[in-house]
Amino acid sequence: MTTIETKSVGSARVRGIGLAAIRGLGLALVLLPGAVLCFTLSVVSIALIPIGIGLVTTPWVLAGVRAFADWRRVLAAQWCGVKIPSAYRPIPKGANPWTRTFALLRDPATWRDLLWLPVDMTAGFVTALLSAVLLLYPLEGFAIAAGLWRVLPHGYWYGFVPVTGQASALAAGGLGLVLIFFAHFLTPRMLEAHFRLTRVVLGASQGELAERVRVLTETRRDAVDTSAAELRRIERDLHDGAQARLVAMGMDLGTIEMLLDKDPEKAKQLLAQARKSSADALTELRDLVRGIHPPVLAERGLGDAVRALALRLPVGTEVDVDLPGRADAPVESAAYFAVSEVLTNAVKHAEADRIWVDVHHADGMLRIAVTDNGRGGAVIGAGSGLSGVERRLGTFDGILAVSSPAGGPTMVTMEIPCELS
């Protein structure tokens, strides 16, 4: 390595140490009041839940705690390459305060955050501050050796060195030299130790990550199985429907060709039959295409596609749509067929005579609620159409919730995280 390269590496090392000290000092100054404030507000808000006030304040306070924790995750990755996994459960949007509050409190990640705050304001504060002190404290020793000792109060101690005169001041400078030697190695490591401590407390456990992997594996397998079943259905419908009609029509046309001169009347009858077969084949192909991806969904979006579904139902259906844009095509398709399945269940099994559909988007979540006044008793279970809806939504990290007491009414709520364009 050349002299110039050696100097470049050395200067980069010095800059890195100085940057780590500045970052540690800034972090210490911010994290202590931030952690104290978040912890205090959280404890007070949760304590006020029994009298109702906490139901309103807790979701906001815990959202702030999550933002504070996520900010630390970003810094850990950017500054020291320490990745802290996040495993927050999705919060139901549009739910009442009671539901939102207890959804947050049932999330293990919430309690990890609350456990992390006291650790952050104590051990976290010390490790962040040490990364700055290890570099800045030796500078005081050098200043004392240079003459600052003359203005210091009597009995001042620098580390374990009592500063009483020039000789002891030089000893303080020597101690500062030793400390800065160790700071050269320890300052960046102390900042990294701070974030590693944060990861120990704040990071998701291996069990939770394994559960998340299991869920993703199941949803992927369900998506593959669903796609394969859909492909088999399309092949079967083509073979048994339109293809059979087209083959029969081809045979009729061959017969017509032979009968044109011998029996024109019979040829006319077969020609009319062939024309009817072609119309039936065209209708079946249109129905098949509508089952794969309805043209109205592709051309006009989810809102109009759901309205078109409602118009074909034999019961009165009200549709309320509030979508300022369109979701990605796969999300729209999943939502459309999920709504179609739920509406079919309401008509066939719930014996409803009135259905209400609400479709809207808020806070990055597409939310669809289908309510009917049928007999109730709908459940998500094996063999249930709702199980298929749940699997379809699960492919997109969506969720399905069903409220269906005996005697009705039934409310099916579907949520899919997505952005509109």
pLDDT tens digits in sequence order for the chain, 421 residues long: 555 555 555 566 778 788 888 898 889 999 999 999 999 999 999 999 888 898 889 999 999 999 999 999 989 888 888 888 877 877 765 667 887 888 888 888 899 999 999 999 999 999 999 888 888 888 888 888 888 878 888 878 888 888 888 888 888 888 888 888 888 788 888 899 999 999 988 876 655 556 556 655 665 666 555 555 656 665 665 666 666 667 767 777 777 777 777 777 777 777 777 777 777 667 666 655 555 556 777 788 888 888 888 888 888 888 998 888 888 888 888 888 888 888 888 888 777 888 899 999 887 788 898 988 888 877 776 556 677 787 778 777 788 888 888 887 888 888 888 888 7
Are 263 and 312 within one domain?
A: no
Burial readout 101-116 (b: 16 or more C-beta within 10 A, e: otherwise): bebbeebebbebbbeb
Q: Of the candidates 243, 267, 292, which is a domain's last residue?
A: 292
Question: Is residue 374 a part of any domain in this protein?
Answer: yes
Residue 121 is given by DSSP the state I
Say if residue 412 is in the same domain as residue 307.
Answer: yes
Domain C-terminal end among 268, 292, 316: 292
| 178 and 306 share one domain | no
Residue 381 lies in a domain: yes
- The whole-angstrom distance between residue 277's C-alpha and the CA centroid of its chain comes to 50
Of residues 35, 36, 55, the one with CA closest to residue 47: 55
Cα–Cα distance for residue pair 413/92, rounded to 1 Å? 10
Residue 408 lies inside a defined structural domain of this protein: yes
Q: If phi over 0 gives left and psi between -120 and 50 gives alpha, with beta otherwise, what is residue 408?
A: left
Q: Give yes or no: residues 252 and 166 share one domain.
A: no
Please tell me the predicted confidence (pLDDT) of residue 274: 74
CATH number at residue 385: 3.30.565.10
Q: 3-class DSSP state for residue 216? A: helix
Asked whether residue 220 is domain-assigned, the answer is no
The tally of domains found in the chain comes to: 3
Same domain, 371 and 242: no
Return all residues near 35 (Cβ < 8 A) that are at least 6 apart.
68, 117, 118, 120, 121, 124, 125
Single residue among 263, 292, 321 that ends a domain in this structure = 292
CA angle (273 as vertex; 272, 277 as ends), nearest 5: 120
**Half-sphere exposure (Cβ direction) of 217: Cα atoms closer than 13 Å:** 6
Same domain, 84 and 45: yes
Nearest CA to 357 among 392, 394, 306?
306
Whether 147 and 194 map to the same domain: the answer is yes
> Both 236 and 154 in a single domain?
no
| Paired sense of beta strands 399-403 and 156-158, if any | unpaired
Looking at residue 3, its pLDDT comes to 54
- Name the helix (H) or strand (E) containing 340: helix 329-348
CB atoms within 10 A of CB 285: 16
Find out whether 375 and 408 touch, Cβ atoms under 8 Å: yes
CA distances from 137 to 98, 131, 219, 255 (A): 51, 11, 55, 103
Domain residue limits at 259: 227-292
282 and 404 assigned to the same domain:
no
Length of the chain: 421
* pTM for the full predicted model: 0.50
Beta bridge partners of 156: 163
Q: Evaluate whether residue 215 is within a structural domain.
A: no
Instruction: Determine contact, residues 397/417, Cβ cutoff 8 Å.
Output: yes
Q: Are residues 60 and 75 in the same domain?
A: yes
Residue 248 lies in a domain: yes
Q: What is the pLDDT of residue 325?
A: 86
Specify whether 176 is located in the same domain as 41: yes
Q: Is residue 51 a part of any domain in this protein?
A: yes
Would you say residue 222 lies in a domain? no
Helices (runs of H) and strands (runs of E) counted in the chain: 13, 7
Q: In sequence order, which ranges of 81-124 are alpha helices (DSSP H)? A: 97-105, 108-119
> Looking at the structure, do residues 39 and 172 belong to the same domain, yes or no?
yes
